[in-house]
Amino acid sequence: MKLSLVIMAAGLGSRYGGNKQIDGIGPHNEILMEYSIHDALRAGFGKVVFIIKPEMREMMESLCGYLTRKTALDGSPVEVEYALQDFSSLPEFYTIPADRTRPFGTVHALLCAEPAVKGPCCVINADDFYGPNAYRSMAQELRRLPEAGQAAMVGYLLKNTASLHGTVTRGICALRDGYLGGVQETRKIQLYADGTLRDLEKDQPLDPDAVVSMNFWGFMPSIFPVLREHFHHFLRQIGDDPRAECLLPDLVDRYLREDKLRVSVLSSAGQWFGMTYREDRATVAQALRRLHEEGAYPASLRD
C-alpha cells in the first residue's frame, strides 16, 4: 500500500501577511510545499493528499497539477487527492457560533482527509521546509510501525526553528529512550541575535537544543477513530469560543499521558525553515537558491 503525504494547506498565513502557501520562493518560483512533495517522492511516498479550503481547489490544481504526470519510486503513477476542510464535516451535536470563521485546527484538518488516506501517512504543514532526510527517516519508520497504538514524529532543535523577526509557538518535547514523553505547547518564543531563546510568557530562558515538534507526524489509519474521539471531546468543551483550535500536539500529549499512544522520535539536526513573518522570506529564498546550486535539488522540481 502506498505511503501518503498529507499536506495541511488550509491555513491563512495571517502573521505572514498573505497566502504564504503559494508564495513562489524558490529560484524558479517554486512554492515551499513543492520541496516537501519532491523530497517525499524521492523517499518512497506515492500519494499526495492536499487539505485545503474549498475555494482553493482550482488554484491548487493549477499549481500542482503536474504531479499526476510523475511516477513514484516503484514506477506507479503518483496519486493526488484533495480533502476539503470546511464546516460540513462537523458532528450534528455541535452548533457553529455565528462569528466563527476560522478552521478548527490540525486535528479537524486530518479528520477531513480520512476518506483519502488508506494506509500509513506522513502529515506536514504546507508552509515549512523539513529537508530530505526527514522524509527518508519517516518512510522507513512508517513501514515498520504496527497498525495501532504507535505513531512517529520528526523532531527539530529549537534553535533551528525560531525567527529573529518575532515570536513563534513550538511544541517542546520531553524524550524518553527515543520515544516522546510529552509535548508542551510553548508560545511567544523569541530568538535573539546572540543565539539565546526566551519564553516571553513565563519570562524564562529556553534550551536552544531542546527538541521541538514542527507538525511532522507519522500515523497509521487507526489514528482516525482517536482523532474523532478527541475532536468531539474538544467541541463539547469549547462552548462559543470562535478562535479555539484542536491541535495535533495537544492530542498526542493527551494520549501519551493516558498511555494510549507511543510515539517514536526521529531526530533531525537539519535546518528547518519556514516563513512565519514576511521578513523571513529573503533568508528562505537564499537558502533554497544555495541548495539548488549545490545540487541538492534539480533545476526544476516540476519536470
The angle that helices 248-257 and 223-238 make with each other, rounded to 10 degrees, is 100
The percent of residues above 70 in pLDDT, for the chain, comes to 96
pLDDT tens for residues 209-219?
999 999 999 99
Mean pLDDT of 152-175: 92
Torsion of CA 112, 118, 121, 123, to 10 degrees: -10
- Rounded Cα distance between 248 and 216, Å, is 10
> What are the domain boundaries of the chain?
4-293
Quick: pLDDT tens for 247-275. Answer: 998 899 999 999 999 999 998 777 788 77
92-145 pLDDT, tens digit per residue, is: 999 998 888 888 999 999 999 999 999 999 999 988 999 999 999 999 999 999
Q: What is the pLDDT of residue 15?
A: 41
Work out the percent of the chain whose per-residue pLDDT is above 90.
Answer: 67
What would the CATH number be for the domain defined by 4-293? Answer: 3.90.550.10
Does the pLDDT at position 77 exceed 90? yes
Q: What is the mean pLDDT of the chain?
A: 90
- Given the C-alpha cell 500515523, which residue does it identify? 219
Neighbours of 82 (CB within 10 A): 18
Tally DSSP H helices, then E strands, for the chain: 7, 13
Q: How far is CA 235 from CA 105, 160, 183, 257, in A?
A: 12, 34, 21, 20
pLDDT of residue 19: 56
On the question of pLDDT at 207 being above 60, the answer is yes
The residues, ordered by sequence, that sit 6+ positions from 185 with a Cβ below 8 Å of its Cβ are 169, 170, 171, 247, 249, 250
Identity of the residue numbered 146: P
At residue 9, does pLDDT exceed 80?
Answer: yes
